Structure formats: structure tokens, C-alpha cells
Structure 1
């Protein structure tokens, strides 16, 4: 192979790498990946959750599909999207952490979005130990369809939008550990603020379901038995 031919082949290779980077170069496409990390969904459900119209959501999903990040299945007239593999979820999680570590705007944007309420956080390892000891109740505050697609074993499901009306379903004498989609999910922050305002003892898991899955910890699906 000549030097010119080798250089051209190298160029094609790096352009192929760049195509994946270009597919990720949209905040809304990253948000769609975040949603799909919780489980497969229809285009309609994704559009609603991401605040997009159907045409725009479909276009973003096609870009992600062409890059190989998502896959589809058809059920009648409905098309369901899912992440193409755990490696896509790992890439998404790593992208966020690298951005926070090296891009000055990210920590400020994170605090503006999530808030800084000073609540105590526990790691996945600490949570597992406290659950085994019977010291806490675990609360999943994601939408029900995400809970059904996969949740921490034994976790209760009360979507954050319903928590104010259903707070009585939580034992008052046990500390509640709240979690949602992942480290950058606001739902757990809102839930902890609500619970503490109502006089309950509540803390957060330091990340969420995305990181729990990637750590290969046990996951339950469906409604509790």
C-alpha cells in the first residue's frame, strides 16, 4: 500500500469516527439517549418526554440510528427505540463525566438545573449495605413506565409528580433513599426537597438507575410481587 493510499484510508477511518461524534453533537439527542437508557420507548413517548414535536424527535432518532447508537423494533404500527447496547450507555455516562471534569460551564449549569440543597447522598455500595440491614426504604421517583422497565430490587414506585399526594404510603419512622434516572436527574432532588419540607428524613442516591445498571447490580423489572 502506498503512502498516499494509506493516508487516504486513515482519513476515511477518522471520518467514520467523526460521524459518531457528530451524532452526539446535539443536546436533544443526548437527552433522548438519557431517556432510552431507562428502557425502550415509542417515538411518541420519547417526543413527549423530551418536549419535542413528533417530526423533530423522529429526525433526531434517525440520526442516532444511522450512527448505530439506537436500534428499533416494530410492534404493529408502533416503532420502539432502544439503545443499541450497554456500550452506548457507557459512552453517554462517560461523556457527561468528562464534560463536567474539563468544561468549566458544566458544573455551573448543573447547579443551576439541579440546585444545591445540601442533602446527604449515599453511594451504591452504602445503599446496598443499608438495605440489607433494613435501615432504609428505597424510593424510585421516575415515571411508572421507567420503573417497570427496570428498578432497584425492593424499591417503591411513586413518581415525583404524585409524591405530595401519596407521601402517606412511605413509612414515617424510616429514612427514605430517593433515586431517579442518573447523576444528573432532577427528579430525586425535587423529591428530597418535598419530603424534607414535609418533615421526613430523606437522602439521595449519589447517582441513579443508569449507573446502577452499568455497575451490573441486580435489577428487577415489572411491578412488585
Structure 2
């Protein structure tokens, strides 16, 4: 039978993953990597940190076993270690939403009010896709679309949306999606589209939640 010292060592090891996530920038990295593999320089740009700081955060996640890395030429690519890491991040987020009182104010301060945005649930989108009466836009960066996307979705990063509006069929209702409930890409896309007189809504959640439900996913040929 183990003694209490061994039990303490076990429980210390069990919380190592939580300790690694106990930093906002590292949580941001997991949020981005849930979309697909990315190189260090792109990750640094995504979280607005220096290359050195981003590398340090990634090394901490690597030591905790939450991410994997590989080298291709001069670039180092990172990815989440398994779907369990994505589930851990989602559970942490949902727990905070349920129990951290001031989180609602922080969310509203960041994303603003969504009352005027059309919203569509995952189940409703599935139904509309079966009926073929909706155009789905993936407004995340191109590498994330290539790593995995909702089947039939058009890749139209939000930064390019205004210049590429003509690529979206006229008269169709549009559903935009991005990284998840705290991602603003889809919000911005819906505002641009409705400002141009198009009918548009955003998916309530994002691609990671779609994938986690075991729904169909496509990857781009590379």
C-alpha cells in the first residue's frame, strides 16, 4: 500500500496539466491549436506575443504533455496532443462560465452585444445543410480551414470578406463560423454581410465543437 507521500506525488502529477493551463496566453495557444497544427511564428502572431515568449509557453505545454511538436525545415509546428486536451479546455471554459461571477462582464466587454446578430444552432445548421438551402462560410485563417472544416464550407477569411463578396452566391442565406463562442471573426463577418444587404447568421459555437460532436469534417488536400 502506498504512503501519503506517494499519494501526494500522484495528485501533484494529476494537476500538472491544469497548472500548465494556468496562464491566459497558454490557454489562448490551446484555443488556436484546437483548430489545427500551426508553426511557432504564426502562433506568436495569433496571441500577440514575441517569438521568444510564445516558445517558452509552448515548451511549458509540451512538458505537461498537452501539445506535440515536429520540425519541418527551419520551422517548428505544434498541435494538441489528443482530443482529450480539447475536451479539457472546453470543460475549463464551461466551468468558468458557470461559476466565475464576473466572467459575463468580461465576455460582454470583449465581444460586445450579440443581440442584433442572427444566431443558428449546430442542429439547425445540420438540418439546413441536408436541405441544401444555406451557404456556409469558414471565416478563420486559411491554415485552419485546410486542417479541417465543415463539409461544403467556403474558405473566406474575414479579412478578405469585403473584397471577395462576389464569390458568395446572391440570394442565399449565409452562416459564418469560426473558432468558437469567444471568437469574433464570425461576428465581424455577419456584420459585414448584413451591411451589404445579405441575410447572414453566425454559428453559436465553432468548428472545435462541431468536430467534438463527431460530425463530418473535411480537410483540404495539401
TM more than 0.5: yes
1:112 corresponds to? 109
1:70 corresponds to? 67
| Equivalenced residues, count | 220
In 2: Cα distance, 1:68 partner to 1:135 partner:
43
1:60 corresponds to? 57
1:49 corresponds to? 46
Tell me the TM-score normalised to structure 1 length: 0.94
1:121 corresponds to? 119
Gap regions ≥5 residues in structure 2: none
Contact kept, 8 Å, 1:70 with 1:84, in 2: the verdict is yes
1:93 corresponds to? 90
Contact kept, 8 Å, 1:113 with 1:186, in 2: the verdict is no
Tell me the TM-score normalised to structure 2 length: 0.95
Shift of 1:198: 1.5
Residue 154 in 1 paired to residue 152 in 2? yes
Aligned with residue 175 of structure 2, among 166, 174, 177: 177
Shift of 1:45: 1.2
Aligned with residue 218 of structure 2, among 208, 211, 220: 220
Once the two structures are superposed, residues 48-83 of structure 1 have per-residue CA deviations (whole angstroms, 9 ceiling, x without a partner) of 111111100000000000111001112222211100
Shift of 1:19: 2.0
Runs of 4+ in structure 1 deviating by more than 3 angstroms, as ranges, are none
Partner of 2:180, secondary structure, is coil
In 2: Cα distance, 1:117 partner to 1:184 partner:
11
Aligned with residue 203 of structure 1, among 201, 206, 219: 201
Range with bigger deviation, 16-25 or 84-93? 16-25
Aligned with residue 78 of structure 2, among 72, 81, 85: 81
Root-mean-square deviation (Å)? 1.2
